[in-house]
């Protein structure tokens, strides 16, 4: 469980790094992910798959070279896996682990096994360099269920995520404020029609109430970040030459919160029309 120091740090900074309680579940999700990519490679790039499947580091080749080639010939190949893996049994086993749920509930000031509503499941799949699917500075409470009390999970599912691969950028303590950005007007318009919202990577922050410390968070495989839904954050840029950046995310909502205006949202699908 969490120490008093960890809880106090979370309340002050708006985020917490923790050790995931069941590494075998993460390894199983990774294996299922590899197999899903293999199926796609066998269908679309059979010659390439035959070449890399016999190599000693075949798993690494599949996860990186294989996915990059699939994305290059048709972005829909990546979209197919992106949209299906976060709705798989293996993914749900990871995010619904009872010890993880107790940590989330502790930070929400709930009984440790209170039922939670989960949405916005995704596995970030970012190729090297800047792309249109990366998120700039934003606070997710603005684009999710109105009035909800929720926390967010960000965690590697393949291997370590260092600064070169691109971790998670946060502004410590920013969760205490409603902060405007150059994307705020677009957020408001799209929220009214219940449309997906993604802050461009070029999004800039306007009129900060105070100066916040920007921290670039990284995780080893088996570590994760839990953070407040109002914490200002953005994606880390993948500066590697030939590595994919993989990180799983989801939101945990207090299902007994009387103040939320519940609606079904699915804002983490890859296809966006703007």
259 or 274, which is more confident: 259
- Count CB neighbours of 93 within 10 A: 15
Q: Return d(Cα 41, Cα 50) in angstroms, integer.
A: 9
Q: Say what the pTM is.
A: 0.94
Per CATH, domain 1-20+114-258 is 3.40.50.300? no
Residue ranges per domain, the chain?
1-20+114-258, 22-96
- pLDDT at residue number 16: 97
For residue 178, is pLDDT > 80? Answer: yes
| CB neighbour list of residue 37: distance below 8 Å, 6 or more residues apart | 62, 63, 66, 67, 70, 81
Say yes or no to pLDDT of 124 above 50: yes
Give the pLDDT confidence score for residue 268 in this predicted structure: 64
Q: What pLDDT was estimated at residue 273? A: 40
CA distance 115 to 177: 28
Find the distance separating the first CA and the last CA of the chain, reported in whole Å: 42
Q: What is the reported pLDDT for 18? A: 96
State the chain's mean pLDDT as an integer.
93
Q: What is the mean pLDDT of residues 151-177?
A: 97
- DSSP one-letter code for 236: P
Tens digit of pLDDT for each residue in 81-116? Answer: 999 999 999 999 999 999 999 999 999 999 998 999
Asked if residue 187 has pLDDT above 90, the reply is no
**H helix or E strand, kind and range, residue 233:** strand 233-235
Distance between CA atoms of 103 and 9, rounded to whole angstroms?
A: 14
User: In 3D, which of 170, 176, 260 has the Cα closest to residue 219?
Assistant: 170
**pLDDT tens digits for 20-76?**
999 999 999 999 999 999 999 999 999 999 999 999 999 999 999 999 999 999 999
**In angstroms, rounded to a whole number, what is the distance separating the alpha carbons of residues 71 and 77?**
6
pLDDT value at residue 133: 82
């Amino acid at each position: 469980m969490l120490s008093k120091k960890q809880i106090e740090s979370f309340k002050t900074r708006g985020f917490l790094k923790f050790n995931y309680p069941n590494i075998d579940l993460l390894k199983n999700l990774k294996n299922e992910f590899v197999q899903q990519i293999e199926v796609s490679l066998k269908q679309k790039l059979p010659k390439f798959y035959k070449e890399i499947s016999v190599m000693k580091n075949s798993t690494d080749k599949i996860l990186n070279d294989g996915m990059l080639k699939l994305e290059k010939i048709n972005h829909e190949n990546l979209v197919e896996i992106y949209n299906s893996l976060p709705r798989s049994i293996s993914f749900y086993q990871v995010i619904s682990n009872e010890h993880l749920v107790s940590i989330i509930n502790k930070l929400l000031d709930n009984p440790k096994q209170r039922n939670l509503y989960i949405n916005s499941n995704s596995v970030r799949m970012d190729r090297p360099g800047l792309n249109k699917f990366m998120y700039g500075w934003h606070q997710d409470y603005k684009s999710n269920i109105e009035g909800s009390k929720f926390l967010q999970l960000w965690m590697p599912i393949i291997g370590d995520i260092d600064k070169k691969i691109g971790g998670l950028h946060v502004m410590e303590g920013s969760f205490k404020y409603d902060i405007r950005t150059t994307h705020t007007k677009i957020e408001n318009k799209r929220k009214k029609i219940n449309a997906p919202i993604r802050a461009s990577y070029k999004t800039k922050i306007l009129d900060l109430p105070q100066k916040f410390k920007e921290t670039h968070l990284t995780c080893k495989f088996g570590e994760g970040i839990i953070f407040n839904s109002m914490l200002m954050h953005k994606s880390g840029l993948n500066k590697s030459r030939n590595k994919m950046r993989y990180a799983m995310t989801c939101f945990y909502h207090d299902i007994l919160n009387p103040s939320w205006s519940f609606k079904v949202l699915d804002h983490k699908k890859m296809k966006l029309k703007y």
